[in-house]
Amino acid sequence: MKAQGISFAIGLAAGCFGGLIGLGGGIIMVPLLVELLHLDQCRAHGTSLVVLIFTGISGGISYGLHGQVDWKAAVLLAVPAMLLAAAGACLADRLPDWKLKKIFGAFLIFCSALLLLKPVLADWIGVLPDAVSDIALVATGAATGFLSGLMGIGGGTIMIPAMILLGGFTQHIAQGTALLVMVPSGFVGAFTHWKLDNVAVELLFSMVPGIVLGAFAGAGIAQFIPEAPLRWMFVLVAVYMGWRYVKVVSPDTC
């Protein structure tokens, strides 16, 4: 009973945070599942992927009702993401926990750096031709799918910077589109993790309601927050979580 209450709270926090800044909530769920419920890293990744599908549905609907979803970009991102999500999930099943954590942390810091450099990069990149922008989104979708399956996250930390820097999207539209894309790509990765027995099914019954409620609340609150503060919230949380994971030490050095 205690585990169910904790898992509901984890889902609620992850959903609210994810809906607010356009993430699936994996960067919240994965460390909390490991630290509070003592799941191993790979099992936390698989469980997170299942739950974040519902973040994507809830948050995507909420942003969509405000006209903040770009459907063309969603298709360009989702198709390659679905094709590579299973490969990422299979690799996660083979890597030791400490390596997964270091990769996860480095990835979060890298994506945060991209957003911090947005003004400089935007001036340097300029306005890309539509064809080049579309190709960039397809490549981003491929990377998103693989890393989503590998690390148990929705991929918003990749898609949002790419859409803002390469596609010229606003923060709100990038977040709404990213949440929608998480549904099909997350499903493929989650199904692969489930087949590999990397999903704590007993926790889903309490986490899913929590994340649905949280995602609706977070997406609603986001409508009242300007673009710049949203971006800074995204960066600060991602850097903090990334640094914690990068510091993980290999068992061989202990």
| DSSP state string for 15-58 | HHHHHHHT--SHHHHHHHHHHHS---HHHHHHHHHHHHHHHHHH
| pLDDT above 70 for 188 | yes
Name which of 109, 80, 43, 91 is nearest 181 in CA terms. Answer: 80
Q: How confident is the model at residue 114 (pLDDT cuts 50, 70, 90)?
A: low
Residue in the structure block whose two tokens are 């990744």? 45
For residue 142, what are the domain limits?
A: 2-253
Threshold 0.85, pTM exceeds: no
Of residues 221 and 124, more confidence is placed in: 221
Give the C-alpha separation, 186 to 212, whole Å.
15
- Overall number of domains in the chain: 1
Could you tell me the CA-to-CA distances from 150 to 100, 116, 118, 155 in Å, in that order? 8, 25, 26, 10
Q: What is the mean pLDDT of the chain?
A: 80
Of 251, 215, 193, the residue nearest 28 (C-alpha): 215
Name the band, by pLDDT with cuts 50, 70 and 90, for residue 249: low
pLDDT tens profile 72-89: 989 999 999 999 988 888
Task: Answer whether residue 174 shows pLDDT above 50.
Answer: yes
What per-residue confidence (pLDDT) applies to 14?
A: 81
Q: Is the pLDDT of residue 254 over 50?
A: no
**pLDDT, tens digit (0-9, with 9 covering 90-100), for 189-236:** 888 889 888 899 898 899 889 888 887 787 777 777 776 776 677 678
pLDDT digits (tens, 9 = 90+) for 4-60: 888 899 888 887 877 776 666 777 788 788 888 888 878 888 888 888 888 788 778
